[in-house]
Each structure stands twice: as C-alpha cells, then as structure tokens.
Copies of this chain bind each other. A is one copy, B any other.
Amino acid sequence: MASNNLETVLAKVSKEVTPSAKERKEVLSLASSLVEKVREAARNAGVKAKVRVEGSVAKDTWIRGEPDIDIFMQVPQSMLREAFGTICLNIAKEATKGSKQLERFAEHPYLETIVDGTRINIVPCYQSKPGEWKSATDRTPFHTDYVVPRLNQRLREQIRMLKRFMKGIGVYGAEIKVGGFSGYLCELLILQYESLVRVLEAASNFRDLWLIDYEGYYKGREDELPKIFEEPLVVVDPVDKGRNVASAVRKQSLIEFVAASREFLKNPRQEFFYPKQAKPLSKEKLLRVMKNRESTLFFVVFGKVKAVPDVLWGQLYKTQRSLRKMLEQNDFQIMRDSCWSNEKDLNVLVFEVENGKLPKVKKHLGPPISKKAECDNFLRKHIGSKETVSGPYIDNDRWVVEIKRKQNDIVKLLREKLRDGGRQGGVAELISKTIKRAFEVKVNQQAAKLYSSNPQFAVFLSDYLEAKPRWLKKVDGA
C-alpha cells in the first residue's frame, strides 16, 4: 500500500513539475532573444564575449512555472575584474532596457531583471580553461556542458522532482539565507543515484558523512575525501576535482533533508513537494501562546541594512551567533534563537531565554584545592574585594566566591551592548551601522504590533512558535 501510495504521489508530482510544451517554447524563445540582445549590446560595447544560456533552462531541468533564465557572458581573460561591475553590467542593462533591473552580486556583480514575468540573470565570467578559473562563475558553462549530454527525459523528470522536494522542505538554493542544495547539485545527485527515491534512500541512511565522487577522481582513496573537504556532504565536482559542489550546504539543511527523506519514504505525501501555505496565528492566539510558554522571548528590531541579500543574511546569522554567545557568557540560558528579514527595511533577531533576569549574585569558581599557589592567588584577589558578595568558601574541592553580576537583566544588557552599534559584542559591520542609528528591544507581547502590521513576520513568528517543519504533520502512532 505504501509503495502504491508512493507511485501515486510521484506520478502526480511528475505532472506538476514538467513544463508544458507551450511554456517550454516560450521560455526557450525568450532565452534566445535575450542571448541575441546581450550579444548585440556586447558587440556595441566592443567586448568580445561568448554569450550562452546556462542553468536549468539550458539543461531543460527547470520546474514548471518557475524558470530562471541564466545568461552568461564569457569575456576574454584580458578584461579587468573591475569591468564586471561597470562594462559588463552596462551591457546587461542595455540588453534588457525597459525592464525592472536589480544589481546583484554573489562573488561578483551581475544583473537581475524581470522580463515578461520571468526572472533573468545576466552574469559575466571569464573564458577560462578547466582548473585555471579566474572567477567563481567560470565553471558554470562547463557544468552545463558536462550535464547536458548525460541527461535523458527520465532523468530530467527525476531532477525536477528532486528540486521541487528540496524547495518544498525549504533547503533548495545555495544562497546564504538557505544554505541549501543548488540546482547543479540536484542534477549530480540524480546522475549518481538515477532516481529521486534512491537519492532519498541514500539521504535517509545518512550518519556522519556522505561522499559522492561521480567521476571517480578519488577511486581507491575515498578515505582521503573527509581530510580534503571538511563538510559532511561532499560531492566532488566532475569539472573540478578540487571543489565540493555541496560546500554551501549547511549542516542544518543537510539534516533537514535527511529527516524529510526518512519521513517521506515512510509516509509519502504530495505536501512534501507542495506544502500548504502557512497561516499565521491570530494576534490573540499569538499572545496566548507566548504567555503560556512563560519564557522570555525578545526581539531586536532594526531597519534597512545596506547590503545585497547574501551579504545581509551572512551578517544577520553572524550577529545572531555572536549575540547568542554574548548572552550565554552572561549566563542566560538560551532556549532558541532565530532571525528574520524582509530584505528591505525591517530586520528582527529573536532570542528566547528561560529567565530574562538572573540573581545579582554569581558563583565564580576558583582553583581546586590541590593547586596551592593558585588557591593563594585566588584568595588574595577576592577576599575583601568590592566585587565579593559572599565567600570565598570551599565547595566540592574548590574555592568558590560569589561576586556581583554586572548586569542581570537581559534587556538592559542588550541595550547596553548595542548602544554603540555593538561591534564589541560581535555585531557584524553593516548591521552595526544600522543599529548605531536606531534599534528597539521588544519583550514578549511588545512584539504584537509588529506582528499585526507585518504579515510576513507573522508567518515567521507563528512558524517559530510551532517550531515543527511544515512537512512533519501529525503522523500515525507506532
């Protein structure tokens, strides 16, 4: 029955992910015309660029209704790197004149634009030889050339389903925000395992390491791979044996994928691929849920950070980690933390602690009694010191003293640390600039207004409180 069910689900999903003939025709035609326009603009600018379609459109692996057209302009090695952000960007702008344009950059600048409702990325790179890459995107045309001849219709179907699965559980995309699986990585997984189900089976058996070397570059010496690459998932790039295609996959994303694979194989449902839209809690329900936790949930809220999404998310995660560490060093017990951004003018860091207030007195452990000289130093330091509240006394073989805690209120502590931008507390540079101008710390129900006025944030906070992956619905008892 389970396997019947699996087949039914996969058959439905296959239909959903495969572009119609009409869509395919339109996308390919739009891509061709754009290639022509970029070529012409390059010619007009006097740049000898090879212009090609890359990515899922070139490989015919995009998901129905979700095409991204990547157009690469391979420029001569003689061109200066700075020209990517000037000459190349201008060529891209000229070619898509009249459309909405957004300057982006990953490792280097590129142009994102929307034409006829379809997102187009126009990306410069160098004409490099394999192994002699001058910029990170130089490999992309080689990826396309590697994958295309190895695919057939069945494999393309499996790739589309795997990508949709990744999207559905929230681990698709190598961007910093997600830290997940790129399209190319999905393609290599299907080349390796030949079907979605076999990829999921492999994932579901994950323990500590998952090593894939499709071209067999490390054949007979696979045990070297974990020494060369430090990530738990290593997929050796067929066009560059020194590169791990999965290096952007964060441990958390990998493990979400592993867990979702297990659950799907046990209980196959279409919702893994197409999750139901999350409905935020009503404001009343939100307040009740927060109150019932009897924890301290607080929100550091600040405005626009001047950074493209990848940089913004990198800075948000770094700041979240640093502040968490700072709070823990001040003895607050963090239950969970998270962050959210609308990628425009509103950013929120969330921390939940057991108690927002600690005793004013704090136990400070001294040396064990066996260390005579250290004990003596400890006593000289703390006896009669202004900071000493109680002791020193002996507790379990060591000297202990109770000292005054500098700040025992978490909100005050945060305000103090962030007042000057918080660089010393580990706030990342660009976020620090914003925080220096203004920030707010809201505790528990003080977040209600932000919640009611911002539906995206409401979905985020509802998800935070539920804390259950969307694919993990109520399951049958054992």
Residue positions of A touching B, CB distance < 8 A: 204-208, 251-252, 255-256, 258-259, 262-263, 266, 292-296, 335-336, 354-355, 357-361, 363, 369-370, 372, 375-377, 379-381, 383-384, 389-395, 397, 399, 402, 408, 465-469, 472-478
Q: Shortest distance in angstroms between A201's beta carbon and chain B's nearest beta carbon?
A: 12
Q: Shortest distance in angstroms between A193's beta carbon and chain B's nearest beta carbon?
A: 18
**A335 touches which of B207, B363, B369, B474 (Cβ 8 Å):** B363
**Do residues B370 and A208 form an inter-chain contact, with CB atoms below 8 A?**
yes
Closest to A294 in B: B360
**Do residues A359 and B383 form an inter-chain contact, with CB atoms below 8 A?**
no
Closest to A405 in B: B294
**Do residues B262 and A376 form an inter-chain contact, with CB atoms below 8 A?**
yes
Give every chain B residue within 8 A of A292 (Cβ-Cβ).
360-361, 389
Also in contact, A393 and B469, with CB within 8 A (given A262-B375, A369-B258): yes
- A335 to B475 alpha-carbon distance, docked (Å): 42
Closest to A260 in B: B394
Also in contact, A357 and B294, with CB within 8 A (given A369-B206, A369-B259): yes
Give every chain B residue within 8 A of A469 (Cβ-Cβ).
393-394
Give every chain B residue within 8 A of A370 (Cβ-Cβ).
206-208
- A394 to B207 alpha-carbon distance, docked (Å): 15
**A467 touches which of B360, B402, B408 (Cβ 8 Å):** B402
- A467 to B370 alpha-carbon distance, docked (Å): 21
**A390 touches which of B255, B402, B465, B477 (Cβ 8 Å):** B465
- A466 to B393 alpha-carbon distance, docked (Å): 9
- A369 to B251 alpha-carbon distance, docked (Å): 11
**Do residues B369 and A475 form an inter-chain contact, with CB atoms below 8 A?**
no
